[in-house]
Amino acid sequence: MSDIAGELARVREAFDKPTLRLLDRKWAPFVLAVFKSSFSRDRRSVPCELLHTQVDAYLADLRSTGIDAPEKTGRALCVQWMNDLWLYREIRGAADGNGDGNEEHYSLTSHTLEALLLVDGLASTRALISESRLSTIVDTVRHRATEANPDRDERVRRLDQQIGELTSERDRLVNGGDIESASNEQMHEGYANLIDLIAQLPSDFKRVEESVAAMHRQIVSDFRGEERPISEVLDDYLAKTDTLMSSTAEGRAFEGAFILLRNDALMQGLKADLETILLHPFALELSLHERRSFMSTVTVLRKGIDDVLTQRKGLTTTLREHIVNHDVVKDRELELVLRGINRELATWMQTAGPRSTVTAELMPGTLEVEHLRERFYDPMAHKGPPALADVSAAAPAAPSLGDLRQQGGPLLGELRDALVAAFGAGKAASVGNAFNGFDKSLRRPVEILGLLQLAAQLTAPTGPAGLESYETVRPDGSVRLFDVPRRILTDDDRAALAAQNLGSRHD
């Protein structure tokens, strides 16, 4: 028989992984476009509410242009993507540098990063089979073959060959030999090879982070359902922490890389080499985003290490908290109570018959207490307040009756007298003109309201309506102008005002 059945099973298993399930869905282009628009190398996580709003905005933009889009809200889509293992939700605080307080954030899983990397590779127009990539392969194979060969003489021969080649090149340069600078095409090929390798770093780190998180969840689950003695459980899981990173393929790979990545001199050299590459003329053809992304390689490495170490720290914190919070005293007390019940039961069985029963309450009864004292007697509660200080000497002078009246409402009686006198002497063409001729004590801003009240008691105005300026004087002497509808008093209006004045005096 052929091996088609086994190959089919392996292919089906691959298609069941979240990476290919993401690429095999109807809305896969939309989902990947949202992820590429919302996340980047510098923006690894997004607050949940912000991503919900962004997805709603993306859906609205696509529908407005007539492009078919899912008929769901941004929140519903994000929850679905999280259940499909394409998004990961976690709580980040101020310590993470991503927000204030505890706030939920979304980040991409390793499956999503792999899918995005695959799509970027398919969309790339530059061929990756180049001299740079083949040289990288040849150099790596030669280096690993040297390390794998146990023959001492063969390893010495390889080292002597490398030393001879390097020494020859050095002597040539010292003697004034020409320095052949790489062409733009060669630098582009090497740059594309490096970018392809660097682009795989986030998904590699994410796989290690997810592996540690899965072990964290497994340990928490085992702690909750563990039936073995606590000492045996702790010995087992403390042993697991010693081999935490070496128990998975991802952890072993990370441990090997971590030895190199924690070398500060190596990181500084890598940063300097990146700057040297960008000083080549070919870098002028790169966009600003591409140059910044290339220079942030060291930041990507450090950020990936920090994320993995943070997950590992959370795992060790869980172990420590379980050890600290486990109350051995309570376990012993419960054990003593159960043993006492067994002793009493054995004593009772010596005299009890086969059908004897004991009435026992499953829950204790409720205490009948009318009132429980909430506060105890405090002698300070019955102590009188301290005597008030005598500050009468610092009291300001009492205002006069005239000052108080200046702060009050309009002086209607004085206004009527002044208005009748002004129109009777023929000195006023309108109410505003008469007001501007009053004494300063009758030209406060509030007196305008008094005039409007008096005018409301007269006949309706006739003639064209307009505005006239009232020059008011506040009690502090400041002047302010107000525009008020113009009003002219007729003979009947003046007679009515004079009659009101007479009536008020008789009163």
pLDDT digits (tens, 9 = 90+) for 186-220: 777 777 777 777 776 777 777 777 777 777 666 66
Residue that is last in its domain, among 107, 123, 139:
123
Q: Per the domain annotation, does 152 fall within a domain?
A: no
Provide the pLDDT for residue 229: 59
| CA proximity to 305, closest of 378, 434, 204 | 204
Distance CA(353)–CA(16), nearest Å, equals: 64
* Residue with the larger pLDDT of the pair 503 and 482: 482
Q: Per the domain annotation, does 351 fall within a domain?
A: no
Q: Per the domain annotation, does 68 fall within a domain?
A: yes
Looking at the structure, tell me whether residues 204 and 338 fall in a common domain: yes
Phi, psi of 468 (to 5 degrees): -135, 155
Provide the pLDDT for residue 461: 67
Which range among 114-118, 308-312, 409-413 has the greatest average pLDDT? 409-413
Phi, psi of 262 (to 5 degrees): -85, 5
Provide the pLDDT for residue 192: 72
- Residue 87: strand, helix, or coil: strand
Looking at the structure, tell me whether residues 316 and 449 fall in a common domain: no
Yes or no: say if 482 and 470 are a contact pair by the CB < 8 Å rule: yes
Residue that is last in its domain, among 59, 94, 123:
123
Q: Is 50 exceeded by the pLDDT of residue 506?
A: no
User: Mean pLDDT in the chain?
Assistant: 76
pLDDT digits (tens, 9 = 90+) for 462-486: 666 688 888 998 888 889 999 888 8
Residue 119 structure tokens: 């799509």
CA 129 to chain CA centroid, Å, is 42
For 32-48, what is the mean pLDDT? 84
Q: Per the domain annotation, does 208 fall within a domain?
A: yes
Q: Per the domain annotation, does 133 fall within a domain?
A: no
Looking at the structure, tell me whether residues 256 and 339 fall in a common domain: yes
Looking at the chain, how many residues does it have?
A: 507
Looking at the structure, tell me whether residues 412 and 331 fall in a common domain: no
Residue that is last in its domain, among 123, 152, 169:
123
Q: What is the CATH number of the domain that holds 12?
A: 1.10.10
For 241-257, what is the mean pLDDT? 61
- pLDDT band of residue 259 (cuts 50, 70, 90) is low
- pLDDT band of residue 1 (cuts 50, 70, 90) is very low
* Residue with the larger pLDDT of the pair 209 and 421: 421
Eight-state DSSP code of residue 183: P
Looking at the structure, tell me whether residues 9 and 118 fall in a common domain: yes
Q: Per the domain annotation, does 313 fall within a domain?
A: yes
Domain that holds residue 81: 4-123
Instruction: Specify the pTM.
Output: 0.43
Looking at the structure, tell me whether residues 412 and 501 fall in a common domain: yes
Looking at the structure, tell me whether residues 22 and 95 fall in a common domain: yes
Q: Per the domain annotation, does 364 fall within a domain?
A: no
Looking at the structure, tell me whether residues 324 and 224 fall in a common domain: yes
Looking at the structure, tell me whether residues 205 and 333 fall in a common domain: yes
- Residue 92: strand, helix, or coil: strand
Looking at the structure, tell me whether residues 329 and 432 fall in a common domain: no
* Residue with the larger pLDDT of the pair 78 and 1: 78
- pLDDT band of residue 238 (cuts 50, 70, 90) is low
Provide the pLDDT for residue 95: 39
Looking at the structure, tell me whether residues 315 and 241 fall in a common domain: yes
Looking at the structure, tell me whether residues 115 and 210 fall in a common domain: no
**Structural domain count, the chain:** 3
| CA proximity to 114, closest of 11, 205, 45 | 205
